[in-house]
Structure 1
Amino acid sequence: MLQITGVSRRFGDVTALADVSLEIRQGEFFALLGPSGCGKTTLLRILAGFESPDAGTVTLDGADLLGRPPHRRPVNLMFQSYALFPHMTVAKNVAYGLEREKLPRAEIRSRVGEVLEKVGLSAMAGRRPQQLSGGQRQRVALARAIVKRPRLLLLDEPLSALDKKVRAEMQLELKRLQHEVGITFVVVTHDQEEAMSLADRIAVFSAGRVEQVDEPVALYQRPRTPFVAGFVGENNLFGGRACSVGLAADGLGVLPGSSDMPDGTSALLAVRPERVRLAPADAVADAPGVLRGEVADVSFYGGVSHVSVTVPGRQEPVLAAVQGATRTLPGERVALSWAPEDGVLVPQ
């Protein structure tokens, strides 16, 4: 549906976007994920028409999008601050765009009622924004954005102003709403959990470039670049050279992993903490790929415990995630291992 080809944008000496190409499908929930300053909001502003690229093309259903002024695009942008009119009621805020299009009053009433029902705010139609909670204001902004039935809805950090519990509720709400209204959503976020829980596919950005585009599970399990391996979720990264059974790691010997890289290729081995097996040091015999070390720290997060282990020959501690509370204590000697298929090799 949306084809972005070779889009670049510079601000003086700063390259905000460098030759970005993406395809976004009809009805998809697509996330642009990356750290602050990586170019994702600049791309959103180009799609909305508030910014012009220095190079590249953007087409919507095969027609040029960049040649149209913002108000003529079938695109709506929901701002991070929600940008609601404080002097208007909820219903008036939602109706504003339709009134500007001079639609018949009966149609405006019908569409506003329908969309307020969808976001669960029918009972609050007569209230003003200052009388609402953060989550409710976010729903008003969403209702105002979807009432015009755009082909594409752009959301810039839509949940960043909400507290953790409300954010979790709104993530479910957003996903439900997107399925109901069938509009293509493109969301910008630096929150990995948000991207993982909401999106059908995610594009990971770094320094104005797209590092990887994939479905959430594939992105988590099979990162294709060192940046993605280090940015998406917790990871243990070991440097070395690819070999037939995994990675020949400097100072640690051969570590198990799976890849189709030629032997001797400079690579990183990525192992997720939940894939690391933790056992008392004397319970595991010496074998290739078994690391031994001392527990440096144990942190309990309710459903999971993180155990940091200092391993000789490695600067960074190795992180293991254990379900529930653990009896492992700082100072204990432990053995660490993982299955070969749980070690992913990434070219350096």
Structure 2
Amino acid sequence: MLKIDGITRRFGDVTALDGVSLEIGQGEFFALLGPSGCGKTTLLRIIAGFETPDSGTVTLDGQDLLARQPNQRPISLMFQSYALFPHMTVAKNVAYGLEREKLPRQEIKQRVGEVLETVGLSAHAGRKPQQLSGGQRQRVALARSIVKRPRLLLLDEPLSALDKKVRADMQLELKRLQHEVGITFVVVTHDQEEAMSLADRIAVFDTGQVRQVDEPVALYERPRTRFVADFVGANNLFEGTFGAEGAVRTEDFGLLPGRPLRELETGTRALLGIRPEKLELRDASAGRGLRGSVLDVSFYGGVSHISVDVPGRAKPVLVAVQGASEVKPGAEVKLHWKTDDAVIIPVDQ
């Protein structure tokens, strides 16, 4: 549906986007994920028509999108601040875009009523934005965006202003809405959990380039670059060289077993990544594993995070276990993992 090909955008000496190419399908929930300043919002603004790229093309259903003015594109953009009119009621806020298009009054009333029912705000139609909670204001902004029935809805950090519990509720609400209205959603976020829980596919951005595009599970379990392995979720990374044994050979820890995500030549500088939940804590007398001592144990409700100091490693190794952990700070342990649970990727990527 949406094809982005070779988009480059520079601001003086800063290259915000460097040859970005993506394809987004009809009805897809697609996330642009990356740290602040990586170029994801610039790309969103180019799609919406608020920025012009220095080179590259953007097409929607095969038609040149860049040739159209912003108000002529079948696209809605929901701003981070929601940008609601404080002097208007909820219903008036939602109807505003349709009134600007001079649609018949009865059709506006019907469409506003339908969309307020969809987002669960029918009972609040007569209220002003300041009389609503943060989550309710976000729903008004969503209703205003989808009432025009765009082909594409762009969301810039849509949940950043909400507290944690409301954010979790609205993630479910967004996903439900997207399925119900059948509009293609493109969301910009720096929140990995948000991207993983919402999106069908995720594009990970770094310094103006796309490092990987994948479904959430594949992105988490099979990162193809150092940046993705380090940025998406917690990870324990060990650097060394790829050995003939099919493991990573390190100076301080010997051979560390894992599975290469693609063919690597022996001697290639490589990185071994092990997710915290894939690590197993064993008694110090156990035969195999990395020896270390427990630094700290933190309980997060359903999960405990255990920091383990491993001699020769500057950063503690993070272990995640279900429920409350019985291990105590100061305990001597060994870390063990299955070969298939650790991934090996080239360091130069």
Q: TM-score range by the shorter chain?
A: over 0.9
Q: How does 1:1-348 map to 2 (within 5 A)?
A: 1-243=1-243, 244-259=245-260, 260-282=263-285, 284-285=286-287, 287=288, 290-348=289-347
Offset at residue 191 of structure 1 (A): 0.5
* Paired letter, 2:86: P
Cα RMSD over matched residues? 0.7
> For the residues of structure 2 that align with 1:200 and 1:38, how far apart are their CA atoms?
21
CA contact (8 A) 1:239 1:250 kept: no
Q: Residues 252 and 314 of structure 1 are in contact (CA less than 8 Å); yes or no, is this contact kept in structure 2?
A: no
**How far has the Cα of 1:211 moved from its partner?**
0.5
Residue 22 of structure 1, CA deviation: 0.3
What is the letter of the counterpart of residue 191 of structure 1?
D
Q: String of CA shifts for 1:191-234, please: whole Å, max 9, x gaps.
A: 01000000000000001000000000000000000000000000
Shift of 1:280: 1.3
List structure 1 runs of 4+ shifted beyond 3 angstroms: none
**Letter of the 1:312 counterpart:** P
Q: Distance in 2 between matches of 1:208 and 1:245?
A: 34
Q: 1:92 and 1:330 mapped to 2: Cα distance?
A: 58
Residues 83-128 of structure 1 show CA distances to partners (whole Å, capped at 9, x for unaligned) of 0011111111000000110111111011000000000000111111
Question: What's the secondary structure of 2:259's corresponding residue?
Answer: coil
Question: What is the CA–CA distance in structure 2 between the aligned matches of 1:23 and 1:34, rounded to whole Å?
Answer: 18
Quote the Cα distance in structure 2 between the aligned partners of 1:252 and 1:97. 62
The one-letter code matched in structure 1 to 2:2 is L
What is the SS of the residue equivalent to 2:120? coil
Report if aligned partners of 1:273, 1:320 keep a CA contact under 8 Å in 2. Answer: yes
Please state whether the residue corresponding to 1:219 is helix, strand or coil: helix
Using the aligned pairs only, state the percent identity: 74
Alpha-carbon distance, 1:187 to partner: 0.2
How far apart in 2 are the matches of 1:336 and 1:9? 46
Runs of 5+ in structure 2 lacking a partner? Answer: none
1:288-335 Cα offsets, whole Å, 9 max, x none, are xx1111111111111111111111222211111111111111111101
d(CA) in 1 for partners of 2:26, 2:242: 40
Deviates more, 1:309-318 or 1:104-113: 309-318
Residue 245 of structure 1 and its aligned partner are, at CA, apart by 2.9
Please give the alpha-carbon distance, in whole angstroms, between the structure 2 residues aligned to 1:23 and 1:250. 42
- The whole-number CA distance in structure 2 between the counterparts of 1:310 and 1:88 is 58
Distance 2:284 2:19 in 1: 50
TM-score w.r.t. structure 1 length? Answer: 0.98
Q: Secondary structure at the match of 1:218?
A: helix
The separation in 2 between residues aligned to 1:250 and 1:228, in whole angstroms, is: 24
Within 2, Cα distance between the matches of 1:298 and 1:110?
56
Cα distance in 1, alignment partners of residues 39 and 203 from structure 2: 12
